[in-house]
Structure 1
Amino acid sequence: MDYSQFITIDPENRFGRPSIKGTRINVADVLGWLASGMSMEEILEDFPELSPDQIKACLAFAADREQKVKYA
């Protein structure tokens, strides 16, 4: 998935934290909701401005970032 169409890093928005374009929702927020057990359907119900593709983009962004981390 090309998450770049959904995720932005803008110093003028949310202090430069990765966010979903057109919203004030951070990638970390979405990941936290999923980690706490919320389903995609529950997130979409609570945040109707989001789409399933935006949530998947958050997961893809996190996976890509994890692959780029260098461990000692």
Structure 2
Amino acid sequence: MNWQDYIVSDNQVLLGKPTIKGTRISVELVLELFSAGWTEKQILESYPTVTAESLRAVFSYLKECIQQELYFPISSAKF
């Protein structure tokens, strides 16, 4: 999947946060919804401009970010 077809960043939209192309729905919002327990079906029904392909693109984008080490390191817990 070519996530660049679905994920864009524009300084004029949500302060440049990555969003689903043609929407104001950020990658961050999609992740928040999934982490809150929303299903793909719930997201697609609630946000009709989002497609199943654009949701997959969110994860493709994140995978590439992690591969390029564009993430915050997690410090190991000390017991």
| TM-score greater than 0.5 by the shorter chain | yes
SS in 1 for 2:45: helix
Task: Look at both structures and tell me which one has the larger radius of gyration over its CA atoms.
Answer: 2
Q: Distance in 2 between matches of 1:20 and 1:9?
A: 9
Q: Which residue of 2 aligns with 1:30?
A: 30
Percent identity between the aligned chains?
30
Please give the TM-score of this superposition, normalised by the length of structure 2.
Answer: 0.83
Please give the TM-score of this superposition, normalised by the length of structure 1.
Answer: 0.90
Q: What is the root-mean-square deviation of aligned Cα atoms in Å?
A: 1.3
Q: Which residue of 2 aligns with 1:65?
A: 65
Residues 2-56 of structure 1, C-alpha deviations (whole Å, 9 max, x = no match): 0000000111111010001110000110011112211100100111111000111
5+ residue gaps, structure 1, are none
Give the structure with the larger helix fraction. 1
Pairing 1:20–2:32 present: no
